[in-house]
Amino acid sequence: MAAPFLPLSKAEMNELGWDACDFVLVTGDAYVDHPSFGAAIIGRVLESRGYRVGILSQPDWRDARSFKALGRPRLAWLVTAGNLDSMVNHYTAAKKRRSEDSYSPGGRAGLRPDRASLVYAHRCRQAFKEPPIILGGIEASLRRFAHYDYWDDKVRRSVLVDAKADVLVFGMGEEPITALAEELNRRRAGEAFAHPLGAATPGVCYIAADLADIPETNPIVLPSFDEVVADKCAYAKAFQLQEREQNPVDGKTLVQPHGEQFLVQNRPGRPLTTKEMDALYDLPFARQPHPAYEGMGGVPALEEVEFSLTAQRGCFGGCSFCALTFHQGRIIQGRSHDSLVREARRLIRSPRFKGYIHDVGGPTANFRRPACRKQGKAGACRDRQCLHPKPCPNLDVDHGDLIDLLRKLRALEGVKKVFIRSGLRFDYLMADKPARRREFLKELCEHHVSGQLKVAPEHASPKVLRQMGKPGIDVYEAFKKEYEQANKEVGREQYLVPYLVSSHPGADIHEAIELAERLRDWGCHPEQVQDFIPTPGSLSTCIYYTGIDPRTMEPVYVPRSPKEKARQRALLQFRRSENYPLVYQALRAAGRMDLVGHGPNALIRPPRPGMGGGDAAGSARKGRQETPAKKGPRGAGKGTGKAAGKGAGKGSGRKGRSF
């Protein structure tokens, strides 16, 4: 019988009658036994296979003795930085230290180290030398090759090499970790293996001392660590090869030399079936923080997901700044309606449930099935995106399944409202048949929006949108028009909240001004904007570092100076008085003083003598406020962590992130 929680201490192990753990899972997050937390998923998966798993949550990394708290693991250490890359968790785009950590008790910062995967692995080795160390989680997954690190401003080795660990599980790790556990048991029983641990397991990276140690006879050898450090063209070529082979059906083994060692990546693990996804979410999660955290103020990240449903994982959207496809993959893995209804009924039984399901979705709310039939047999296309620059003719667009699912959920006794907050891909919606699109929008506006709907046009310049892998702004404007019409038909006054990114590769000051003009015409007042953060694993980060688009090997302009970044950001919020000096400087430098004046097209008024900080109230057009005065139920209108971790896995705090 499953324990209410996996043990955090020797005392809890004793209560379960354990003398040792098979696996000790070290995590940089507080232990929340909920399927949105990677440590909980991996722990429960291994438990369901009969293994004993203990949790070392946020151990004191300064002292190796804290890593002995659960004793020596019988099979292996499992190490994860947590649901976010630790550097994204700790630092803003301006490299300033964040004051809160939503994955820690009470939101307290400072409970995990920088580069947590490395530090934890070294401490595990100091505590007990013998057990293998297996890295996992988004930090390890996206840093598995030689990668550019924004905070060091240099190319770093694979995290597996620097951590001196044995194996790295990349992507969603349920299948690989189960296979590794079986192999570890067989090795412990004395079975001989000709290759390193994990060499035959999809979804795994390992270190080989010699090419002869690799089972694959014809691997693709990438430019070496030394080559990508010395030559940005070599870095871009290496990235493009990595991206092309992230195919679970026929992806090739990749090898990247690191000095005298060879980093080996097997092809990605296969997507889970619907039956397997259902079984995963039927595991006996307590859905709460461990009782050890009582009185500490809760774990803020749970508030976003406690009464939400993860309906699917994976994304074929192809946004350049998002590393999600490098982690979860491009093939959608969805749960059945029955599974989601069962979970909804469990939510309803909670004494904390107030009648509101805060979200139904995943990385993208309206991707409920693979992009096309071909993906089931051949995987995602190597050199073609599903939605960019135009929707693929083979794209299977259908919102009928999502409509049926939402109707079932909102019909449940005890449910007052079901909201959609995880990103709605509006270009996919606009590719649907007009009648089905109107039906979906009408139901969405009538039943599933809490006053505002967050969508992600990201920018308005065609030049920048091409680099982002996003549709033309005309698609967003067509969606905006239909959304507003749908709200009129159902008698609602509801708003669109656009996510916008400043200083993305390809954007110079003229593109930033183009976006500001579009915001003026929309009458939009962005409350929050996001500076582009170059996080490992994304195409945009490769372009940021190299100044080269690896798909074409053509040069791309990259805004780098703090002054230009500040001006671009200020232009997105040109109405704010504190931004007046920066906006004025940007317009003057760009030769766009036609936008300073009193006319209908002006962004700001001319400066007045002695006006000090300036006056941004002179916007010629007074558009409606982006955020409505009326708010939905608590939590229903909140974001999903996107601002904290843009590009780290499509909103790093989102549901469905696994080990």
Interior angle at CA 110, CA 104 and CA 115, nearest 5: 100
Beta bridge partners of 532: none
Strands 133-136 and 167-169: parallel
Residue 574, Ramachandran bin (φ over 0: left; ψ between -120 and 50: alpha; else beta): alpha
Residue labelled with tokens 């029983």: 189
Helix (H) or strand (E) holding 509: helix 509-522
Q: HSE-up of 603 (CA within 13 Å, CB side)?
A: 31
Both structure tokens of 407: 């109707």
What per-residue string of b and e applies to 448-479 under the rule 16 or more CB within 10 Å gives b? bbbbbbbbbbbbbbebbbbbbbbbbbebbeeb
Strand, helix or coil for residue 188: helix
Q: Is there a binding annotation on residue 445?
A: no
Residues 578, 583, 585: CA angle, nearest 5 degrees: 115
What six digits make up the tokens of 45? 């998966």
In terms of C-beta distances under 8 Å and separation of at least 24 residues, what long-range contacts does 331-334 make, across chains too? 331/248, 331/271, 331/370, 331/371, 331/375, 331/379, 331/380, 332/367, 332/368, 332/369, 332/370, 332/371, 333/271, 333/272, 333/273, 333/274, 333/277, 334/274, 334/277, 334/368, 334/369
Q: Is the peptide bond before 73 cis (omega within 30 degrees of 0)?
A: no
Q: Is 322 annotated as a binding residue?
A: yes
CA atoms within 13 A on the CB side of 470: 27
Measured distance CA(459)–CA(505) in Å, rounded: 12
Q: How far apart are CA 624 and CA 542, in angstroms?
A: 38
Nearest to 626 by CA among 521, 507, 494, 472: 494
392 is in an annotated binding site: no
Distance between first and last Cα of the chain:
23
Residues flagged as binding site: 315, 319, 322
Residues flagged as binding site for [4Fe-4S] cluster: 315, 319, 322
